[in-house]
Structure 1
Amino acid sequence: MRSIPRVVAGGLFAALSLPVLAQDPAIERLTERLEVDGQQMPVERIQETPLEGFYEVRLETGERFYTDADGGYFLVGDLYENAEGGLVNLSEQARNAERAARVAAIPDEERVIFRGTDEPKARVTVFTDTTCPYCRRLHEEVPRLNEMGIEVDYLAFPRGGMSSPGARELQQVWCADNPSEAMSTAKREEALEGNASCDNPVEEQYHLGMQLGVQGTPAIVLPDGRLVPGYVPAERLATMLGLNDE
């Protein structure tokens, strides 16, 4: 994926349709003006910011930047509020909210779910790869997490891409009659039986992960949308969810 500075410098945006959620006239005018070398940017959404005269632009690629009302100046980076309690990363808050919404929209039948016998107190979503050593280590913590009332939902993220052995193994998991059992089998480094050619969401989830900022596995998405990279022990994860305070 090309970064915004490269695209702005080289004028490499393709001309795409421009769906904009808000109907504010100023935002509509700005959408029309967002061009590089005469080509319109692939805008997904534009919204106001607390900074007067500046707007947040989200592209269809998932990238974000800030611009003035005329589209004459671009600012790439995070926007912070200097609040009474310290600096607040408004950009990260927006990313978390979007991440939480997009993950919540994934139906249960497209997840591989591990939950205890009691009603869960919290649910975490984990982008995983069965060939990843730290994913296997985290999976060993799943029974303990379930005991503490934490449901663990897996999504697929083959870290080597869709041509990797991990991608095929994940497809076998999702195609299995019992995906959770197949997931545990794969995490034990045991051979899986069955095909990988059924209709499955592995590739879609892989691309979703990249859009949401996943760069490796495991990648844990908390209920509020925060992205926690890497292995986290069960007790620490429970603390992050506020369950050890109960």
Structure 2
Amino acid sequence: MKKVIRIAALSLFGLALSAAHADEDAIRQAFSKSMPEVKIDSIKPSEINGLYEVAIGANIYYVSDDGKYLLQGHLIDVAARTDLTEEKLNGTRKLALEKVGQDKMIVFKPKVSKYKVSVFTDIDCGYCRKLHSELDQYMAEGITIQYLFFPRAGKGSDSYNKAVSVWCADDRNAALTAAKKGESPKAKTCDNPVDEHMQLGAEFEARGTPMIVTENGAIYPGYLPAKQLVEVLENEKAAK
């Protein structure tokens, strides 16, 4: 009897896997026809039957099992009062930042690094300048700051050109600090990641600058003083 039950269970499991693969194929086919330029990173069943979680870059969408309908928004567990989508977005953001890599960021690192954050910055943004003017305080707290550019005025703007010039400077860190103090960087062009930074900021739904992203992928829009940022990072560690 136990053997029969085990075989039946395995059969049902096999059917479930087959159905899941069929649904995934249907979703991929639907995307390839309607949005061929979109690269799907992963497809997973969501918490709602018949609805799949589709990861595209740093974003998560929900798609019906036949691929006909797409929902954009956050899935909330009402009973637990938990934003299920935000938790998963943290993971996609973390992977996206790792994919960019430190070699495409301007990094300020303390002697002893305890924490690491990525900051989307605009050279001409007032609160971005305030954050950078207090860099010694962040360093004293052991916070490594990885800068990515997000000139809010867009590509071709004065802020954008400054970002490119800073990146192309012989000493990027010194050039960024000088620019944050209001000095105009020497105009230069070279291969640079500014457009890539801006695209990633848009995927992260940046509304302004500075935008702080923790090592776990959580977003904190706006300026946070060093002590307050440490509290945030410690709470994040404790919640793991």
Q: TM-score, normalised by structure 2?
A: 0.81
CA distance in 1, matches of 2:200, 2:94: 12
Q: 1:239 aligns with which of 227, 231, 240?
A: 231
Question: Contact between 1:41 and 1:59, CA under 8 Å: does it hold in 2?
Answer: no
Q: Once superposed, what is the RMSD of the aligned Cα atoms?
A: 2.4
Question: How do 1:1-246 residues align onto structure 2 when only pairs under 5 Å count?
Answer: 24-33=21-30, 40-42=34-36, 43=38, 44=40, 45-59=42-56, 64-82=60-78, 86-118=80-112, 120-193=113-186, 195-242=187-234
CA distance in 1, matches of 2:234, 2:62: 34
Question: Contact between 2:59 and 2:89, CA under 8 Å: does it hold in 1?
Answer: no
**Partner SS for 2:234:** coil
**Partner SS for 2:139:** helix
Q: 1:245 to 1:101 in 2, by over 3 A?
A: closer
Cα deviation for residue 66 of structure 1 reads: 2.1
**Number of residue pairs aligned between Structure 1 and Structure 2:** 216
Question: Contact between 1:46 and 1:57, CA under 8 Å: does it hold in 2?
Answer: yes
Question: Contact between 1:238 and 1:244, CA under 8 Å: does it hold in 2?
Answer: no
Larger fraction in helix = 2
Cα deviation for residue 214 of structure 1 reads: 1.5
Deviations 1:167-195 (Å, cap 9, x if unpaired)?
111111111111111111000001222x3
**Partner SS for 2:81:** strand
Question: Contact between 1:122 and 1:241, CA under 8 Å: does it hold in 2?
Answer: yes
Cα deviation for residue 243 of structure 1 reads: 7.7
Question: Contact between 1:115 and 1:146, CA under 8 Å: does it hold in 2?
Answer: yes
**Partner SS for 1:55:** strand
Cα deviation for residue 126 of structure 1 reads: 0.4
Structure 1 unaligned residues grouped into runs of 5+: 1-22
- Residue in 2 that maps onto 1:17: none
Larger Cα-atom Rg: 2
Structure 2 unaligned residues grouped into runs of 5+: 1-19
Question: Contact between 1:239 and 1:245, CA under 8 Å: does it hold in 2?
Answer: no
